[in-house]
Structure 1
Amino acid sequence: MRVLPPSVRFLLGLAGSIAIALGSYGVGWIGPESTLHDWAALEFIRNSRGGVTIAGLLVVVGALMLLVAWITLGLSLLERRGTRGGRDETRLQGDTRTAHDSRSAARRTSLNEVVASAAAWAAPLLFSLPLFSRDMFAYIGQGRLMAAGLNPYTSGMAALPGWYGIGVDPLWADTSTPYGPVFVWLERVVVQSTDALPTEVAVFAFRLLAAAGLAMLAYYAWRIARLRGLNEAGVLWIVAASPLVVMNFVAAGHNDSIMLAFIVGGVYYALRDRPLLGTVFVTIAIGVKPIALIALPIIGLIWAGAAAGWGAIVRRWAAVAGIALGGLALVGWSLGIGMGWLGALATPVSISSWYAPANILGIGVGGLFEGVGLDGEVAQTVVKLALLGAGCTLAAYLVIARRRLEPLTLLLGCFAAIVLSSPVVHPWYGLWLLTLLALKGAERLWSMRTVVYSTVFFMLIGLAEPLDLIPRLETDTRIPVIIVGVALVGTTAVLIGSELLVRRRRVALGFRMPEPA
């Protein structure tokens, strides 16, 4: 694999995105009562073993094309420092102004290419059927609960007549919403405004909200990159252009893009000496997903200043907590749902991901206990709670004992402590950490490898998610085996090719390319 010309990798990524969108019509999620079942051509594809297999392969091959385009785009950023940028600098060392202008032009070219690629690769997926997750159907169901006057913090989806026909995952039947009052309000607004239209219109509206969140996230990530002297193109390459981003924040429509956008925006305004606005932004993020509470003490530390004593810090923490909790209590009161969102903080211990370290350890310890005649399930739960408690303790230690660390480093450390100790780690949780890693400064080759290998791992998790298959095909193991097999072989080949390319070109200096002025 060689570094592709800009136009080739742009078109390769676009073709990959189109392939995913087309494949989604064969294996993407639609509700049992969806009007799309009236489309004869669509039903023919979705009821045919061959049609479903081809559609699934389109999704996987499209994702691999996006991966190749994205990695080669990242390698081109490295290449500018290792080759042409170095020669330009040597040739122009007698003319500092010209060298500066050359670097500025190269920075703009890189940034424009990344932004254009991210937008073009995301656009076709706006029109795909839901893939990699069914959460958008849950958003619709929770919005209907609100519209019916029910409290989604005390009522599960089963309280809603016809909930299964929407397409909601049965796991939501008796599960209260894990989202904050701001997003619950958005759910009600979307449902009420699309009530007379097919469900797919509401799905599209939620996808537009997620895409808008991604655009906002990219904007504030760019502002922070400029503020901190980071490579702007490199930051957006991670935050906005990766296959994992478009898979989860566009195709799957996860609201995490909105939460992250307000967290990053809040940090930006706090760093620009506007801590009250930063606090408001983080409050909105908490109102989308309560896990954003992690960012609140960081805003307080930025507000207090690096040299502040404990008195000033405690006052700032009290101020940000009062603003956030008071604002969210007011929103909850106005919606008639109170502070039920606090219970959503317990969600990470109620479900598990098979690949989460805490879950793997918990299963292992539970098996040992069962082997000696003890209650393995209780042991497994204790291990999960203990590890999550350790993660929370580590986050508290960082905020208290290491409070003078650079704020984005501190924020990344706190999020990593919570996420990696949790028994549930969804692929979109990985994007929390990758986004904060980019903003902290992923400027060395090992950082780029961390980003790429993490992206590939979570991509494979997403591609291995169950497809929307009719009962006759659900028991056909050949379909998932073929799809997962192609994904494994393809990603392995892409990673090997990229490593060989890096080694051959001896690009070892890092990602700050071209260097900022």
Structure 2
Amino acid sequence: MHVLSPRVRLLLGVIGSVSIAIGSLGVGWLGPASVLRSWAVFELLRNSRGAATLSGLLVVVGALLLLAAWVSLGVSLLERRSSRGSTLPASAEAPRESDASRTSMQVREVAIAATAWSIPLLFTLPLFSRDMFAYVGQGRLMAAGLNPYTTGMADLPGWFGLGVDPLWADTQTPYGPVFVWLEKIVVMSTDALPPEVAIGAFRFLAVVGLAMLAFYAWRIARLRGLNQAGVLWIVAASPLVLMNFVVAGHNDSLMLGFIVAGVYYALKDRPLLGTVFVALAIGVKPIALIALPIIGLIWAGSNVGWAAIIRRWSAVAAVGIGGVVLLGWGIGVGVGWIGALATPVTISSWYAPANILGISIGGLANGLGLSGDAAQVAVKMVLLAAGCAAAVYLLVTKRRADPLWLLGSCFAVIVIASPVIHPWYGLWMLTLLALIGVDRLWRIRTVLYATAFFMLIGLAEPMDLIPRLEPDTMIPVAVIGTAIIGVAAVLISAEMVTRRTVAVRGLRVPSISN
């Protein structure tokens, strides 16, 4: 892969985004009761074998174009830093001015690319996940005076017609009171309009979260002396980010935005404000509880004893958890979000290590005449508990480590031990890896290969190829086969260019983060 010019790269990504938007008309999610199904264009695109195949291919090709444009952008950052490192400055003042100008130009280039690639995706039908339909359903539960922590979607009249995944039928919401309150506001304010309007509002919230994440990640990068453009390249312009935080509209962008904002303010000696932001993150997704002790450690400092640390942990717990509890009672849902932390045990990802081990032990239990299902649940719970214990161990024994490294490590051990690892969970770790610093070749490869893997998972799992076309296995085979071949080609090209860049520097590894 040769580094494309900025204009060509920008145009390539825009073409990819437009391709995804057009393809989504044929394979994006639509509720069974959606009024859009009666429109002629949707009937044509969604009930024809050829149109459905073409639509699926457009989505895949668009994602591949985005991946190629994004990788080319990252390679250009590598090569520019490489050439910079090989040139000795003529004076002390000139390089500082030149560096500031170069940094500003690179940040602007990445920000423009991320924005331009995102805009067409705002107009897609939901792809890669149906969670936005669940947000609408949960908002309707709240609007009806029901508690989404004790009531499943099946108790809502017409829930299936919305397009909610049947997995949500008897599953309580795993989200915090801040987000269920937002769900209620969105649904009540769009009650007289088609559900697609509410879905658009939830996508808007996700994009706001992404903008907040990018802004505070950039500020942390500047504070820590990281390459600001390199950080934004990972957290804002990645095709995995665009697929999950724009197209799929996941609320994880809000959670991450609040966490990163909280860490930034804690690093700027404003720990109470940082705690408030983390409390908002917990109110979106309770898994953000992991970040509270990190804020406490930053507040306490690295050279204090356990007494000071415990005081800070108590303070952030009182503000953070106490605030979420009060909000829960205030909106009438109580503390059901605590029980929602167990939701990951009820579902599984086929590629999650905990699920693979659980299935293996469950099969063995069946062979011994025992309950395989019970064995699987037990394995999942034990491993998840082990992941939480590992996070506590890190907080205790590595409390003087870089707080962002510690936060990333705690997230990593819990996610790896979880029986469900959604593609957007990968963004939790990639975001924090970017803020730790991508200054080793293995870290650059981790970003590239993790992005590619989770992109393939996202492209493979949720294609809505119309019920009457489901028996035709050639459609998904053709679509996913194209995705695998295309992603492999991009990765091989990126590997060749990266190796060449390293070789030119005499085995010194280039960096996109510092």
Q: TM-score, normalised by structure 2?
A: 0.97
Cα deviation for residue 333 of structure 1 reads 1.4
8 Å contact 1:390–1:421 — kept in the other structure?
yes
Instruction: Tell me what 1:470 maps to.
Output: 466
Cα deviation for residue 348 of structure 1 reads 1.5
8 Å contact 1:230–1:512 — kept in the other structure?
no
Matching residue's letter, 2:316: V
Task: Write the distance in 1 (CA, Å) between the matches of 2:513 and 2:17.
Answer: 28
Matching residue's letter, 1:112: R
8 Å contact 1:27–1:468 — kept in the other structure?
yes
Task: Write the distance in 2 (CA, Å) between the matches of 1:279 and 1:148.
Answer: 32
Instruction: Tell me what 2:30 maps to.
Output: 30
Instruction: Tell me what 2:101 maps to.
Output: 105
8 Å contact 1:444–1:509 — kept in the other structure?
no
Task: Write the distance in 2 (CA, Å) between the matches of 1:279 and 1:141.
Answer: 30
Instruction: Tell me what 1:200 maps to.
Output: 196
Q: Among residues 442, 447, 464, which one is paired with 2:438 in the alignment?
A: 442
Instruction: Tell me what 1:426 maps to.
Output: 422
Q: Among residues 336, 350, 356, which one is paired with 2:346 in the alignment?
A: 350
Cα deviation for residue 94 of structure 1 reads 3.0
Q: Among residues 379, 382, 394, which one is paired with 2:378 in the alignment?
A: 382
Task: Write the distance in 1 (CA, Å) between the matches of 2:404 and 2:16.
Answer: 33
Cα deviation for residue 513 of structure 1 reads 5.4
Equivalent residue of 1:399, what SS?
A: helix
- Is residue 246 from structure 1 mapped to residue 235 from structure 2 by the alignment? no
Cα deviation for residue 511 of structure 1 reads 4.8
Alignment of 1:184-263 (within 5 A): 184-263=180-259
Equivalent residue of 2:94, what SS?
A: helix
- Is residue 42 from structure 1 mapped to residue 38 from structure 2 by the alignment? no
- Is residue 335 from structure 1 mapped to residue 331 from structure 2 by the alignment? yes
Q: Among residues 353, 356, 369, which one is paired with 1:360 in the alignment?
A: 356
8 Å contact 2:438–2:513 — kept in the other structure?
no
Instruction: Tell me what 1:5 maps to.
Output: 5
Instruction: Tell me what 1:456 maps to.
Output: 452
Task: Write the distance in 2 (CA, Å) between the matches of 1:143 and 1:510.
Answer: 49
8 Å contact 1:106–1:514 — kept in the other structure?
no
8 Å contact 1:220–1:264 — kept in the other structure?
yes
Matching residue's letter, 1:80: R
- Is residue 181 from structure 1 mapped to residue 185 from structure 2 by the alignment? no
Equivalent residue of 2:138, what SS?
A: helix
Equivalent residue of 2:349, what SS?
A: coil
Residues 459, 115 of structure 1: CA spacing in aligned structure 2 closer, same or farther, 3 A cutoff? same
Task: Write the distance in 2 (CA, Å) between the matches of 1:441 and 1:356.
Answer: 26
8 Å contact 2:438–2:512 — kept in the other structure?
no
Task: List alignment gaps of at least 5 residues for structure 1.
Answer: none
Cα deviation for residue 472 of structure 1 reads 1.2
Question: In the TM superposition, what whole-angstrom CA distance separates every residue of 1:324-359 from its partner, at most 9, and x where no partner exists?
Answer: 222112211111111111111101111110000111
Residues 514, 254 of structure 1: CA spacing in aligned structure 2 closer, same or farther, 3 A cutoff? closer
8 Å contact 1:16–1:62 — kept in the other structure?
yes
Instruction: Tell me what 2:300 maps to.
Output: 304
Cα deviation for residue 477 of structure 1 reads 0.4
Alignment of 1:140-179 (within 5 A): 140-179=136-175
* RMSD (Å), alpha carbons: 1.3
Question: In the TM superposition, what whole-angstrom CA distance separates every residue of 1:456-515 from its partner, at most 9, and x where no partner exists?
Answer: 000000000132232210111011000010001111111111112222332654454596
Task: Write the distance in 2 (CA, Å) between the matches of 1:315 and 1:98.
Answer: 47
Residues 483, 7 of structure 1: CA spacing in aligned structure 2 closer, same or farther, 3 A cutoff? same
Residues 511, 295 of structure 1: CA spacing in aligned structure 2 closer, same or farther, 3 A cutoff? farther
Residues 153, 501 of structure 1: CA spacing in aligned structure 2 closer, same or farther, 3 A cutoff? same
Task: Write the distance in 2 (CA, Å) between the matches of 1:381 and 1:51.
Answer: 42
- Is residue 129 from structure 1 mapped to residue 125 from structure 2 by the alignment? yes
Q: Report percent identity of matched pairs.
A: 67
Deviates more, 1:146-155 or 1:460-469: 460-469
Equivalent residue of 1:105, what SS?
A: helix
Deviates more, 1:362-371 or 1:433-442: 362-371
Deviates more, 1:500-509 or 1:360-369: 500-509
8 Å contact 1:19–1:62 — kept in the other structure?
yes
Residues 192, 514 of structure 1: CA spacing in aligned structure 2 closer, same or farther, 3 A cutoff? closer
Matching residue's letter, 1:17: S
Residues 77, 56 of structure 1: CA spacing in aligned structure 2 closer, same or farther, 3 A cutoff? same
Task: Write the distance in 1 (CA, Å) between the matches of 2:42 and 2:372.
Answer: 47
Task: Write the distance in 2 (CA, Å) between the matches of 1:455 and 1:189.
Answer: 34
Cα deviation for residue 365 of structure 1 reads 2.0
Instruction: Tell me what 1:69 maps to.
Output: 69
8 Å contact 1:144–1:191 — kept in the other structure?
yes
